[in-house]
Amino acid sequence: MPLMNGGPWTVLAITAVYIIFVKYLGPAIMSKRAPYDLRSTIFWYNIALVILNGLFFIYSAMFTRFGIRTWQCNPIDPSQWDNEMKLKLSVAWIFVMSKFVDLLDTIFFVFRKKYNQVSALHVIHHSLVPINCWMGFKYVPSESAAFMPFLNSFVHMVMYTYYALSTLGPKVTPYLWWKKYLTQLQIIQIALVSIHCVYIAFLPSCKVPKFVFLIALPQALLVLAMFCSFFINSYLKPSPPSKSSISSSSTTTASSPSTAKAKSS
């Protein structure tokens, strides 16, 4: 299958080009240009990914019995090359390729000059996921490595629904109060993936390439820590008072003596 022959060099090259573009080249190109209005493009892009991830979730639920088989030892058996296996591998390959399509999220940010959204969390997360999905499909093409795709397809279906709705403007904004819970869902997903990596890596007598899970584990823990930090800073820490509120408070304090004097007189 395309990109699956040989080592990871093509995948790493794509990731390197992505990082260079979103952090350096893209902002340099846009420095003297006005931001592009991509709302319509982004809306249909998000709708397409909602549908695609919905199909991934349905297929992965069928293939893994709603994730149950991902917690069992499923050694790779090339002798089982039948039509069902061909379908499973085809769906899994399309899922891996979709992780490269997800890189367009950041490129849209750059073209819209939304550089604050090109955060370290965003870029690191988007860089690691395609590499790990490629590695899992390359070396562990069995249900044992399908837990992350099973969860991720559901989370991305919800996430891209939110992104699609957010492009519709202020009239929809009051209905997007659940962004906080979307972040919590992502944290739960990564925590469960981390637990699954540990479980499979230390599952006795299971003959699957366990180095894949051991390599993925510290990356998952890093992204989990970054997501938790983002959640705490965004939703739990009290926001600093704005300049207008400080100014209003100062005005009220300054006027209070004269008000008291007026009342006494």
**Residue 59: Cβ within 10 Å count:** 21
Identify whether 122 is a catalytic site residue. no
Compute the distance between CA of residue 115 and CA of residue 128 in angstroms, rounded to an integer.
20
Give Cβ neighbours of residue 166 (< 8 Å, ≥ 6 apart). Answer: 172, 173, 176
Q: Three-state DSSP class for 238?
A: coil
The answer to whether the Cα torsion of 22, 27, 30, 35 is positive or negative is positive
The answer to whether the Cα torsion of 78, 84, 88, 91 is positive or negative is positive
What contacts 24+ positions apart, CB below 8 Å, involve 53-59?
Answer: 53/98, 53/153, 53/154, 53/156, 53/157, 53/160, 54/153, 54/157, 56/91, 56/94, 56/95, 56/98, 56/149, 56/153, 57/150, 57/153, 57/154, 57/157, 59/91
Q: Three-state DSSP class for 233?
A: helix
Compute the distance between CA of residue 59 and CA of residue 92 in angstroms, rounded to an integer.
9
Which of the 8 DSSP states describes residue 79?
G
Among residues 125, 126, 156, 196, the one annotated as catalytic is 125
| Residues taking part in catalysis | 125
